[in-house]
Amino acid sequence: MSTLALISAETIVKRVNRLPALSASVARLAALAGDENATVAELEGVVRPDIALTANLLRYANSAAVRGRAEVVTVRDAVLRLGRQQLWNIAASGSLAKVIPTSLPGYGFETLGFWRHSVAVAVLAQRIADAAGLELRVHAFTAGLMHDVGKLVVEEFLASSKAAVLARMGEGGMAFVASEREVLGTDHTEVGGRLAERWGLPSAVVTCCRGHHEPEALGDVPERRLACAVHVANALAHGMGLGADVGELRRKTDAGAMARLALDTPKLEVIACASLDEIERLASGFGGKA
Positions touching other proteins (CB under 8 A) are 108, 110, 112-113, 116, 166, 173, 175, 232, 235-236, 238-244, 246, 248-255, 258, 265-266, 268-270, 272-274, 276, 280, 283-284, 290
Q: Provide, rounded to whole angstroms, the least separation between the CB of residue 38 and other proteins.
A: 35
Q: Provide, rounded to whole angstroms, the least separation between the CB of residue 212 and other proteins.
A: 14
Q: Provide, rounded to whole angstroms, the least separation between the CB of residue 88 and other proteins.
A: 26
Q: Which is nearer to other proteins, 70 or 255 (CB)?
A: 255
Q: Which is nearer to other proteins, 222 or 256 (CB)?
A: 256
- The whole-angstrom separation of Cα 231 and Cα 143 is 10
Q: What is the CA radius of gyration of the chain?
A: 19
- The whole-angstrom separation of Cα 166 and Cα 140 is 31
- The whole-angstrom separation of Cα 154 and Cα 90 is 26
Q: Which is nearer to other proteins, 15 or 168 (CB)?
A: 168
Cβ 115 vs Cβ 289: under 8 Å: yes
Q: Which is nearer to other proteins, 50 or 187 (CB)?
A: 187
Q: Which is nearer to other proteins, 219 or 266 (CB)?
A: 266
Q: Provide, rounded to whole angstroms, the least separation between the CB of residue 236 and other proteins.
A: 7
- The whole-angstrom separation of Cα 93 and Cα 214 is 25
Residue 104, beta-bridge partner list: 109
Beta carbons within 8 Å of 166's beta carbon, 6+ residues apart:
179, 246
Q: Provide, rounded to whole angstroms, the least separation between the CB of residue 265 and other proteins.
A: 6
Q: Which is nearer to other proteins, 173 or 219 (CB)?
A: 173
Q: Provide, rounded to whole angstroms, the least separation between the CB of residue 184 and other proteins.
A: 19
Detail the DSSP E strand segments found in the chain.
Answer: 103-104, 109-110
Cβ 41 vs Cβ 71: under 8 Å: no
